[in-house]
Amino acid sequence: MPLAHPDTQAPMPLPQATYRGGSGIGMSDRDIDNRQHWFEQRLSPLLDRLYGCALRLTRDPDDAEDIVAEAVGKAWSRLGELRDPQCFDGWLLHILNNVFISEWRRRQCRPQRPATAEDPSPDELDSSTFTLFQQLHQPFLLWWGSLEEQFFNSLLHEDIQQAIDALPDPFRVTMVLVEVQGYSYSEAAHLLGIPLGTVRSRLSRARALLQKTLWEQAGDAGVRPDDGGTGRQRP
């Protein structure tokens, strides 16, 4: 995904027909209408993505709506800074991530709320080498047929969402930036203000934990053969 970082370079103007000049001074009503129309046209197909990413980051529908609204407001007021109109999607998502991260940091600074530990609990350590692939491809299970196929067929959108939401904050946020949104490790490190090595270690733990949760969910759904393979009926 092409990312446009709003603060780094001189703004590139939007197409002449929709936007003239950075300050907006001297814009006619028609210019304003065009500019708003341009903004809406691009925002509308992006809203589910913005909301989805916000929801994965915050885990709370109300908070997610708040940060989407704040990001949209910021994007509108900083539209003149958008260098390449083609990068609108990445630019707006980037603003949304920044809105979330500022709020997240602010909340972490509150003394009454315990900071999320970076050190893994013994249980997490246990999970740090877990891979779903190995579980689904154990040699003695081959008689079972394609367990992997069965796993993917029964894997619901909500299962993944729940598994992501269950990750501890720092792991979840890093994973959402890299795996869900496609940021590079160094971009994620820059956004979060953490070293590159921390991004790598958080990602690796996040993946192992996520896969372990999905494996446990698969057991609940009756996909795993050691659960008798009765298979809970899934929609």
Partner 1 sequence: MSARPLDCEEVIERLFEYLDRELDERQIADIEHHLARCRDCFTRAQFETRLRARVSAAGTVTAPPRLHQRIRQLLDRFNDGEANTHH
**Residues near partner 1, by CB under 8 A:** 24-27, 29, 32-33, 35-36, 39-40, 43, 47-53, 55-56, 61, 65, 68-69, 72-73, 76, 132-133, 136-137, 148, 152, 155, 157, 160-161, 164, 175-176, 178-182, 184-185, 203-204, 207, 210-211
Closest CA to 72 of 25, 107, 30, 40: 40
Query: What minimum distance in Å lies between the beta carbon of 128 and partner 1?
Result: 14
Q: Is 82 helix (H, G, I), strand (E, B) or coil?
A: coil
Query: What minimum distance in Å lies between the beta carbon of 110 and partner 1?
Result: 26
CA atoms within 13 A on the CB side of 84: 10
Q: Which is nearer to partner 1, 44 or 230 (CB)?
A: 44
| The pair of three-digit structure tokens given for residue 85, joined into one six-digit string | 């109109």
Helix residue ranges, H only, 23-156:
29-43, 47-58, 61-77, 88-109, 122-127, 132-136, 147-154
Q: Which is nearer to partner 1, 115 or 144 (CB)?
A: 144
Query: What minimum distance in Å lies between the beta carbon of 67 and partner 1?
Result: 11
Q: Which is nearer to partner 1, 4 or 135 (CB)?
A: 135
Q: How far is CA 209 from the centre of its chain?
A: 16
Q: Which is nearer to partner 1, 73 or 117 (CB)?
A: 73
Query: What minimum distance in Å lies between the beta carbon of 8 and partner 1?
Result: 21
**Is residue 29 packed enough to be buried (19+ CB in 10 Å), middle (13-18) or exposed (0-12)?**
exposed
User: Would you say 92 and 49 are in contact if contact means Cβ atoms under 8 Å apart?
Assistant: no
Q: Which is nearer to partner 1, 24 or 231 (CB)?
A: 24
